[in-house]
Structure 1
């Protein structure tokens, strides 16, 4: 294979090549001016740039440069608007180049396997087709400005707890159909120039050194020609990673990564030809993106225009969930009482590595409501964030509620409820907020709840309120966007990117999430989110794809041919509105189990009052396929398929059948041997059934009784070393303190979930792998021997 930068690579020594494969520091790659190789800067930025002004750190503990804080991916996904996603991508890139950023680390498109994942606010959807289409749009926008996008985290990364010390045990069909399809769309349609591997193992092999994922799927099948970067601290065996398809280890690990690669080349475990190929692929992106940043670095982006775009995005992403007796939109002059701390201190973005320093002061409801057509007669705080109910605040709120025609309660999840590094343990909103809503409904019947949260919540008060409007995490312009929806200046068009179950216990992964020990077993297989609820006909609070409007729509005249579906949508209401039509496909088979329906396309259609439009949603290579483990490829089963068009995953408005001449007549599964997978009753899959699906022995993920270098710090509790137990105890105390304060301590969370070898990957060479091994010995109770080895390793550190 010829190399694009062969002349440069031939001039470099083995050590210099090895240095290029690890970061120079937290955010930059190594530069070699003598060879014309510039440094490349990477930055977090799924919903806004986090380019740190001073010393870099991956957790965002140090200040970052001002940037537009757009709504998070979980918000934007509710728009189902690919063009809007592309606009966001362009804006992100316009800001990135002014800050000298070559690679934006995003978008995030992990599947929302469970509503409890603490990082769901960063991800698009519970459906891979939906997530992939939105991600590809972001990527096209970002890369149109000459820099690179970096979709993450590849793949099967579904929990934050022990995220670096977790093995995703998942059968190949589920892995391909659910957990890699979104990335496939991002790579094939978005043409992503880079991709970030996830922290976890996939079937016993770390994602960052998994040749099946990085070579066979990513390169050989999808044609990816960019570079793979580890998540920060996620590199395990760097040389093995390079051999199997990874490129860049981040952040810099001092000389550790260099030694690993040089030694691997010298002992024959890694050929220099493969190293040269990886370097050439990395250099292609470094040099290709350098011109864009050099031309505009230090210039300014249009702060006002991007703020207006952030407002537009937030408006399209708002979801109207309940509108009893058409209480919304509120007419001009409506006397309202505003209740809720979120109205004065908004929850507009998530916490963790995606935290943005907003370019403009974030809007808040109390600051914007004076510019609306509403008359605010009172405001009360109502509750304290992350605290028990306050009787005084509650009584004041009740008195204020009596003065108004309508009460607007601003509530949702607070900062400690969802964060990187921390999974939720339940789906409840803080109890003080639930109690407040209940109490207010006893003194005023016209209560509208306005939610801010990055993922699903239970709503025990649903029946008692007249309106529910969800803004998710709406970014810096979210307050004015929400008021525009409440007052009817904007007709809501958002539809949910995830199912809202009645209760947390209803979720299909309730018995499998999160992993109890090391293995996270995906026993639910394909039955994630709506795929489960629709198959077993489980009642939910709101289905995937659900959202109301201030107008109404009628679907008719379904026509199906081999190219796709065509149908009519008519706006039967009195105002202009936008509908999101969804195409689902299903098939009953005795040899291939499937959910009753799966999303295969969607269309966003804007209609004037009384207007009709013809809508076409095309079929593509993903419409009828399933992954056949007999042939290790995609196949299409011959037979009749049900073609369904609906307004959400539960409401099919137009249906018909289509016969498809496939590539195989039947699948490999035997219905009588795994009935649970054919009927969707997957909440108690036994070992024999899962083993049959998995196709191999189920790994024993239980703690061995001995701490290993790849065990997380939170597992030191099980070790014999007193220092390890003390360290674990201190972290637990610090986590309790942060919980009490209501703000996640990201540094503590990172340490809590990090494996011991992570200290050799995250300290810039201050801790070496030899030192990490000595620390592991000490954690296992070998205090004297471990201390001696630690001293020796420290002395020889270079």
Structure 2
């Protein structure tokens, strides 16, 4: 269908019909228009798996490694494969648009949602995102670049005004979108919640119209983030094409009225709808429609498991490895220690969460490879300040006995609207509902499977009555008011201690005081004393050849809607590592986190493996990496500060509603290298893998192409990532990554590696002329394994 054909379809509709199509029909679908051959378009969140049309309680789907872990491969082919695999997950559910990748930058390590984003570097982010987009869209599933733009933190995210100078906006924060949109030909983008320089991201005529649509010539569709649109005329004139979700929203009759009053030209509405129809055509929802594959790998299939294990393990990063303690000897007796070892965190919180078929812990992964006789598994200290919904069979459905709870939804008259089984002990109300009527109350039930002193409780906004072991309690839970959407993303909770017997039924009823939210039952054993836990860990470590301590963050720190306040590990995890290191012959620490953490024990342990949030096969992937079955060849995608505050950009807390990006283009490694922050613990690009490398014969061509020979002088076949940075002679211009290339080399062998820099890194934004100009005066090329390990310096005067 040609552009003229799409224009004719648009012209065939009257104004109300056009406007109706520009707001969603439901939480994750768009209105069909059979008269013009437009079918229903179906969207799904998708950073770490294609969840489907339900925010909570949806179908079982594959849980992928998180974005920073995948990006740590520094491998466009890997991201292309991930895009293609996620397209398969989408096709299995007849989903047309996957809402990802997230390509905001790691400005401050405190950002709660960084686990969804690739890196602190715009070139690395853009190149990997473009590959992901191509892999997905080659199968006819649209990717959606998000969140446009300057959306690097979560505090007051729906009201914060990101104050960014024009050069920084172009050179840093828009660059990943430019690369992914133009090199990857992304079919859609999502406008963010925040304001940018005093204007809402959904009303950004400057960014959306002037830059993205006009200057870049990009023909795709810009949708709002969910509930982000605040206005009718301003958003429509500002370039926003589609309001999500629906069916309600600020457009509808208000936009029709704005057109009829002359505040919005009908040509603007026509352009929005033309872009929507182009998207529909591309994904097969316009005209004859598309056919969907009938046979695709299931989330729990061996083929999907092998793929996810390989992807996760290959992105893991060896940060330190004294005396080559890694890879572990298979004959070793291993003490596996830590809460993250037995309850490995495989995904972040918020809209990135999915319902996986299983999640493999590190303890189970190592035991499956080494055997029960070679592993000692010891739980660790508490890592959360808040309880989580009941899991691991603590509560079971009173009807079927399956792990989870039973939920009954009722209307204001007490009539049953729906009864549902919830395997994750939580349910969403008011967003995914597909029954007539409005939920007024709910009854949640779970049968307890343990005997003794336990904590039982509930989460969700409303007036609660709970009953267990012959005791009733009543209380109200209210939202704090500190965050947009907290009723869904971070609902309030409360627990009490009960003495129960196995088989007791825990029942909770809630009268809703808000029309939408996440509700669930909490249940867990009364926590043990920290001293006793550490004592058990020390004894196990002393009895083993090597102690593997697994520490990390949880969805309390790495989640949508909440930023971190520190990079310290929560709870007494640092004390646990110190105690184990003092007792063990050798100590390996596995960091189960997507973003930087402080490591005060670093000099007292033998090796550190950064494992990210590794997805449903996490434990198998960590085990494969520790034993060398798959090389953990990752390189860091963000710089690890040595202390809280020791970074070029730190605060994520607005002052008087504004968050100034005062560091300009000197974020992350750029600012550290310029002396604007102390030396980091680990630089972007750092990663040891299992090889050892010598560099030689580095050379530079006039066009900036760098060539070098790398020789693997280690004992293991390994993948090396040759990184090239450019340090301009111009004052106030930061060092920047301009390219990279990789080679996999056997021990004793060499490879010649060529790195072709991206020409977009030779330019700078001239605010006087509002245009690009070329860097002048030359500079120095740094051939490196991260800026903490520079192997060659090449000077250019061009």
User: Shorter chain as normaliser: what TM range?
Assistant: 0.7 to 0.9
Aligned partners of 1:498 and 1:543 also within 8 Å: yes
Aligned partners of 2:383 and 2:571 also within 8 Å: no
CA distance in 2: counterparts of 1:345 and 1:208, whole angstroms: 39
2:123 maps to 1:145: no
Find the counterpart in structure 2 of residue 109 from structure 1: 103
Of 586, 589, 592 in structure 2, the residue corresponding to residue 452 of structure 1 is 592
CA distance in 2: counterparts of 1:572 and 1:634, whole angstroms: 44
Offset from partner CA, 1:508-563 (integer Å, 9 cap, x none): 223x4322330011111111110111111722211111011222111111221133
Instruction: Give 1:23-422 correspondences, 5 Å limit.
Output: 23-52=24-53, 56=54, 60=55, 62-254=56-248, 256-290=250-284, 294-296=290-292, 299-302=295-298, 303-358=301-356, 360-373=357-370, 376-386=374-384, 390-422=530-562
Of 599, 618, 622 in structure 2, the residue corresponding to residue 482 of structure 1 is 622
Deviation at 1:373, TM superposition (A): 3.9
Deviation at 1:281, TM superposition (A): 1.1
CA distance in 2: counterparts of 1:626 and 1:41, whole angstroms: 40
Find the counterpart in structure 2 of residue 599 from structure 1: 737
CA distance in 2: counterparts of 1:568 and 1:260, whole angstroms: 64
Aligned partners of 1:369 and 1:376 also within 8 Å: no
Deviation at 1:455, TM superposition (A): 0.7
- The verdict on how the C-alpha distance between 1:400 and 1:367 changes in structure 2, with shifts beyond 3 A counting, is same
Deviation at 1:240, TM superposition (A): 2.2
What is the DSSP-based 3-state SS (H/G/I as helix, E as strand, rest coil) of the residue aligned with 1:501? coil
Find the counterpart in structure 1 of residue 777 from structure 2: 639
Of 708, 720, 726 in structure 2, the residue corresponding to residue 585 of structure 1 is 726
Offset from partner CA, 1:588-609 (integer Å, 9 cap, x none): 224xx112x2101111211111
Deviation at 1:89, TM superposition (A): 0.3
Find the counterpart in structure 1 of residue 503 from structure 2: none
Deviation at 1:492, TM superposition (A): 2.3
Aligned partners of 1:445 and 1:465 also within 8 Å: no
Find the counterpart in structure 1 of residue 404 from structure 2: none
Aligned partners of 1:567 and 1:615 also within 8 Å: yes
2:707 maps to 1:566: yes
Deviation at 1:3, TM superposition (A): 4.1
Aligned partners of 1:341 and 1:410 also within 8 Å: yes
Deviation at 1:382, TM superposition (A): 2.0
Find the counterpart in structure 2 of residue 533 from structure 1: 672
CA distance in 2: counterparts of 1:161 and 1:3, whole angstroms: 45
- The verdict on how the C-alpha distance between 1:297 and 1:248 changes in structure 2, with shifts beyond 3 A counting, is farther
CA distance in 2: counterparts of 1:366 and 1:169, whole angstroms: 46
**Range 235-244 or range 407-416, more displaced:** 235-244
Aligned partners of 1:3 and 1:277 also within 8 Å: no
What is the DSSP-based 3-state SS (H/G/I as helix, E as strand, rest coil) of the residue aligned with 1:47? coil
Offset from partner CA, 1:596-643 (integer Å, 9 cap, x none): x21011112111112211111113321311111122111113212211
Deviation at 1:570, TM superposition (A): 1.4
**Range 441-450 or range 302-311, more displaced:** 302-311
Of 707, 716, 727 in structure 2, the residue corresponding to residue 575 of structure 1 is 716
**What do you get for the CA RMSD once the two structures are aligned?**
1.8
CA distance in 2: counterparts of 1:305 and 1:464, whole angstroms: 40
Offset from partner CA, 1:277-305 (integer Å, 9 cap, x none): 21011111113212698411665435432
- The verdict on how the C-alpha distance between 1:212 and 1:256 changes in structure 2, with shifts beyond 3 A counting, is closer
TM-score by length of 1: 0.79
Find the counterpart in structure 1 of residue 437 from structure 2: none
Count the aligned residue pairs: 648
Offset from partner CA, 1:73-102 (integer Å, 9 cap, x none): 011111101000000000000110121111
2:577 maps to 1:440: no
Aligned partners of 2:349 and 2:559 also within 8 Å: yes
Offset from partner CA, 1:149-170 (integer Å, 9 cap, x none): 0010011001101101011111
Aligned partners of 2:145 and 2:186 also within 8 Å: yes
Of 484, 496, 521 in structure 1, the residue corresponding to residue 660 of structure 2 is 521
CA distance in 1: counterparts of 2:340 and 2:383, whole angstroms: 9
Instruction: Give 1:717-728 correspondences, 5 Å limit.
Output: none
Deviation at 1:415, TM superposition (A): 2.2
Offset from partner CA, 1:102-134 (integer Å, 9 cap, x none): 110000011111000100100100111111111
Unaligned stretches of 5+ residues in structure 2: 386-526
CA distance in 1: counterparts of 2:578 and 2:135, whole angstroms: 44
Find the counterpart in structure 1 of residue 797 from structure 2: 659
What is the DSSP-based 3-state SS (H/G/I as helix, E as strand, rest coil) of the residue aligned with 1:428? coil
Instruction: Give 1:670-709 correspondences, 5 Å limit.
Output: none
Deviation at 1:242, TM superposition (A): 2.1
CA distance in 2: counterparts of 1:635 and 1:404, whole angstroms: 61
**Range 562-571 or range 211-220, more displaced:** 562-571
Unaligned stretches of 5+ residues in structure 1: 661-798
Offset from partner CA, 1:478-512 (integer Å, 9 cap, x none): 211111111122232101001111101212223x4
Going by fraction, where is helix more abundant, 1 or 2? 1
CA distance in 1: counterparts of 2:293 and 2:96, whole angstroms: 10
Deviation at 1:370, TM superposition (A): 3.1
Offset from partner CA, 1:444-472 (integer Å, 9 cap, x none): 24111111011110111111111111111
Deviation at 1:476, TM superposition (A): 1.0
CA distance in 1: counterparts of 2:306 and 2:797, whole angstroms: 48
Aligned partners of 1:584 and 1:643 also within 8 Å: yes
Aligned partners of 1:100 and 1:298 also within 8 Å: no
Deviation at 1:368, TM superposition (A): 2.4
Find the counterpart in structure 2 of residue 789 from structure 1: none
Instruction: Give 1:647-796 correspondences, 5 Å limit.
Output: 647-660=785-798
CA distance in 1: counterparts of 2:25 and 2:625, whole angstroms: 47
What is the DSSP-based 3-state SS (H/G/I as helix, E as strand, rest coil) of the residue aligned with 2:720? strand
CA distance in 2: counterparts of 1:33 and 1:98, whole angstroms: 24
- The verdict on how the C-alpha distance between 1:23 and 1:373 changes in structure 2, with shifts beyond 3 A counting, is same
**Range 183-192 or range 377-386, more displaced:** 377-386
TM-score by length of 2: 0.79
Aligned partners of 2:641 and 2:682 also within 8 Å: yes
What is the DSSP-based 3-state SS (H/G/I as helix, E as strand, rest coil) of the residue aligned with 2:105? coil
Find the counterpart in structure 2 of residue 499 from structure 1: 639
CA distance in 2: counterparts of 1:260 and 1:558, whole angstroms: 63
Aligned partners of 1:565 and 1:617 also within 8 Å: yes
- The verdict on how the C-alpha distance between 1:4 and 1:568 changes in structure 2, with shifts beyond 3 A counting, is farther
Find the counterpart in structure 1 of residue 761 from structure 2: 623
CA distance in 2: counterparts of 1:147 and 1:228, whole angstroms: 16
CA distance in 2: counterparts of 1:129 and 1:108, whole angstroms: 14
Instruction: Give 1:17-28 correspondences, 5 Å limit.
Output: 17-28=18-29
CA distance in 1: counterparts of 2:702 and 2:285, whole angstroms: 45
Deviation at 1:2, TM superposition (A): 6.1
**Range 388-397 or range 130-139, more displaced:** 388-397
**Range 140-149 or range 536-545, more displaced:** 536-545
What is the DSSP-based 3-state SS (H/G/I as helix, E as strand, rest coil) of the residue aligned with 2:761? coil
CA distance in 2: counterparts of 1:594 and 1:561, whole angstroms: 22
Offset from partner CA, 1:674-716 (integer Å, 9 cap, x none): xxxxxxxxxxxxxxxxxxxxxxxxxxxxxxxxxxxxxxxxxxx
Aligned partners of 2:692 and 2:714 also within 8 Å: yes
